[in-house]
Structure 1
Amino acid sequence: MKLWLEKQRYLIDFTLESLARRKARNLGLLGVYTVLVFVLASVALYTHALRQEAANVLAASPEVILQRLVAGRHDLIPPGYIEKVGRIRGVQKKEGRLWGYYYDAVVKANYTFMVPNDGSVAKGEIVVGPALERSRGLAAGNGISFRSYSGKLHTFIVASVLPQASEIVSADLLLMHEDDFRAFFDYPAGHYTDIALTVANPQEVRNVATKLAAALPDSRPILRDEVLRTYASIFDWREGIVLALLSAAILAFGILAWEKASGLSAEEKREIGILKAIGWETGDIIKMKFWEGLLISLTAFLAGFVAAYVHVFYAGAGLFEPVLKGWAVLYPEFRLTPHVDGLQVATLFFFTVFPYAAAVLVPIWKAAITDPDAVMRG
């Protein structure tokens, strides 16, 4: 084993010397190779991190959200509806929610008005999200007025600003007291926007949803798992758009790498002929060239992946952020939590390293089995 390791070390040393003799050509290929890995890894890391953020955010969301439909459209929950839901076996907890959208012509953006169920906001006061604070220049103690859809002007005092750490879900959020919400949107007493449900047995969530749909034909149960799948589909779709836009560049690199790997220059053929003439075996030449391809592809993969990691988790992924995250007037500012999927890295490694490393074997084998004199003569 020790002898084998020594032999591989000598082969690697010779391979590095051989690469250094064609420095400009190999550095150019390495640079293009690294950029390709960087782009693919950035897209993969960013979309995976977004999926994880969505999963973490939705982990604390209700297991089932029940909406009432009228003519196929979302309508208010009338009085007595919540009591009907409570009779469904398996429902552990139920609570009506009050929330709605408001368009602010000042910043030309939509806000989400919501009533916290814990009653933490006093009447006449509001709690605003970080993006809303930045766009309107608000601070605790400031007053702000909104004109409701009925034309009335309502004035509120900013009690506090939600923490920066929650901006991914609270950027455009505005929390207010229930009485203020009903007065602002002219909500009738006893009516709610939807119902949040907690199921006693998590394994029975889908069965409970089926019972709800059967008992209340005008209802639409929305499961947390379905919301997660929707977000995953959106991120997959956006990832596919980016990769489709980059497909021409990927194809061009593939042609370049294949041409470089599958064709030997006259200098390389001459080098192989000399090695054969001085006693190198065919297997040693193949191993030497395999190490050459592996060193180039492995170096490009490591450099590209590290650069992509820094780009995504420390530089905000500025190259792909607008496409993968979407856009909004009140855009949340948040830093993704570093998260790497081992299977994703292994897949990227397999499709970027092994094809190039393997592509060098056929032309090298053909040259290595040829008579040294014929090889050196071209």
Structure 2
Amino acid sequence: MNSAVLRRHLNLIDFTLSAMRRRLWRNVMLFAVYLVLVFLLASVMFFSHAIRREAALMLSGAPEITVQRLVMGRHDLVPLSYLDKVGNIRGVQKAYGRLWGYFYDQGTRANYTLMVPGPDAKDYQLTKGQAILGEGIARVRGAKKGRILTITSPTGKPLVMRIKDVMMPDSALVGSDLILVTEVDFRRFFNLPPDVYTDLVLKVRNTREVSTIVGKASYLLPDARFVTRDDILRTYEAIFSWREGLLLALLAAVIVAFAILVFDKASGLSGEEKREIGILKAVGWDTGDILAMKFWEGALVSLLAFLGGVLAAYAHVFLFDAGLLKPVLQGWGVLYPDFSLPPSIDGLQLATLAFFTIVPFTAATIVPIWRAAITDPEQVMR
């Protein structure tokens, strides 16, 4: 772009800003609606992408295969004999039983997850009478490291434990409602015999052999269900996609308002704008100059609103923990996880949002201007 063309567009931008100041209130309202729309849509996109990414990172350490026993279509306890059968399948590196279960706490009116740490959880080794709490439980009960925790078992007997530690907030997404205890305390709490587990875990040497191992294990255990890590990831993806769609549906009123705004811009010009175009044509402006001026008007409003909305959404999600969206996208429950998401932005999503917000508005600004600019100035001013 040579200097003459650059000066021409700079002059057009200066004239456009002057024209926008004459209709200041109308442009401020337009800018506000536009910015709120971009802010809400970008907040949903940023939060859903970041929480998907965080869930995928946390689940990357999940077992390749989980074995669950089904009785009449319901999840049931797995006998110890199942462990011997699947543990000897070729390709299985390690097999062990897991103990976990839910119980409802009357004091906080929340569901807790009681679990025994697996053999690979070196950072969570416990002795009898000790417990490690999730961030949510410690928060709602005011519990701290070294204090006593008492919970009542389904049999009515209390389980008294000393809190060894509280999990870090960065694990709150999957461990907010978690209590880690020893196997002895777990079996005593739920009154379980020593030869049953909640489910079994299979560690596989080669992840490409997962389907083959599942096929062999299915033959040995026809009453079992096998859940792979990929199944869990797909389930989380479906849940977050559904919640994101639900929230976008709730924002339909804002989207409809924007559509009406674009339609109004495309349907015609106000009398003042028509007179302004007629005067510009009468004093020697050509159609190209008028289109360029109005293009800059639409581009400035849409671009500034987009940038402002995106920056506000970034601050809302990654600096202020997405307070408006967490209850919907994160889930429902008493023990909301309290954590901060690390910044994570999908460039393709951002480009798509820019295309579907900036382009329609700018195009809607140009169309009626072009119709007025090619009309005789005297007829336009009438």
- Shared fold, TM over 0.5: yes
Contact 2:66–2:227 (CA under 8 A) maintained in structure 1: yes
Which residue type is aligned with residue 153 of structure 2?
S
Question: Is 2:351 the counterpart of 1:346?
Answer: yes
Query: How much is the aligned-residue C-alpha RMSD, in angstroms?
Result: 1.7
Contact 2:89–2:213 (CA under 8 A) maintained in structure 1: yes
CA distance in 2, matches of 1:277, 1:211: 85
Instruction: Name structure 2 gaps, 5 residues minimum.
Output: none
Question: Is 2:201 the counterpart of 1:196?
Answer: yes
CA distance in 2, matches of 1:216, 1:36: 53
What is the aligned counterpart of 1:230 among 215, 227, 235?
235
Which residue type is aligned with residue 28 of structure 2?
L
1:9–1:209 distance in 2 versus 1, CA, 3 Å: farther
* 1:109 equivalent in structure 2: 110
What is the aligned counterpart of 1:291 among 276, 296, 308?
296
CA distance in 2, matches of 1:88, 1:117: 21
Contact 2:170–2:340 (CA under 8 A) maintained in structure 1: no
Instruction: Name structure 1 gaps, 5 residues minimum.
Output: none
% identical equivalent positions = 55
- Cα shift readout 1:265-302 (whole Å, capped 9, x = no counterpart): 22211221222222222122112111111111111111
Q: Indicate the SS of the match to 2:139.
A: helix
Q: Indicate the SS of the match to 2:197.
A: coil
Contact 1:77–1:192 (CA under 8 A) maintained in structure 2: yes
1:11 positional shift? 2.0
With 283-292 and 316-325 compared, the bigger mean Cα shift is at 316-325
CA distance in 2, matches of 1:248, 1:24: 23
Q: Indicate the SS of the match to 1:196.
A: strand
Contact 2:151–2:158 (CA under 8 A) maintained in structure 1: yes
Q: 1:1-378, aligned counterparts within 5 Å?
A: 1-2=1-2, 3-118=4-119, 120-376=125-381, 378=382
1:121 positional shift? 0.2
CA distance in 2, matches of 1:125, 1:222: 31
CA distance in 2, matches of 1:66, 1:179: 22
Number of positions where the alignment pairs a residue of Structure 1 with one of Structure 2: 377
With 342-351 and 139-148 compared, the bigger mean Cα shift is at 139-148
Contact 1:262–1:360 (CA under 8 A) maintained in structure 2: no
1:261 positional shift? 4.1
CA distance in 2, matches of 1:219, 1:301: 52
1:222 positional shift? 0.7
Which residue type is aligned with residue 342 of structure 2?
T
The TM-score, its normalising length taken from structure 2, stands at 0.93
CA distance in 1, matches of 2:142, 2:281: 76
Contact 1:141–1:158 (CA under 8 A) maintained in structure 2: yes
CA distance in 2, matches of 1:290, 1:41: 24
Contact 2:39–2:309 (CA under 8 A) maintained in structure 1: yes
Which residue type is aligned with residue 82 of structure 2?
Y
Q: Indicate the SS of the match to 1:189.
A: coil
1:42 positional shift? 1.3
With 202-211 and 342-351 compared, the bigger mean Cα shift is at 202-211
Contact 1:66–1:196 (CA under 8 A) maintained in structure 2: yes
1:28 positional shift? 1.1
Moved over 4 A (4+): none
CA distance in 2, matches of 1:165, 1:50: 12
- Cα shift readout 1:79-113 (whole Å, capped 9, x = no counterpart): 22112112323222222111111221121212111
With 324-333 and 253-262 compared, the bigger mean Cα shift is at 253-262
Which residue type is aligned with residue 358 of structure 1?
A
CA distance in 1, matches of 2:307, 2:267: 23
CA distance in 1, matches of 2:266, 2:24: 16
1:139 positional shift? 2.3
1:237 positional shift? 1.3
- Cα shift readout 1:97-149 (whole Å, capped 9, x = no counterpart): 11111221121212111111247100121122222222222223322333322
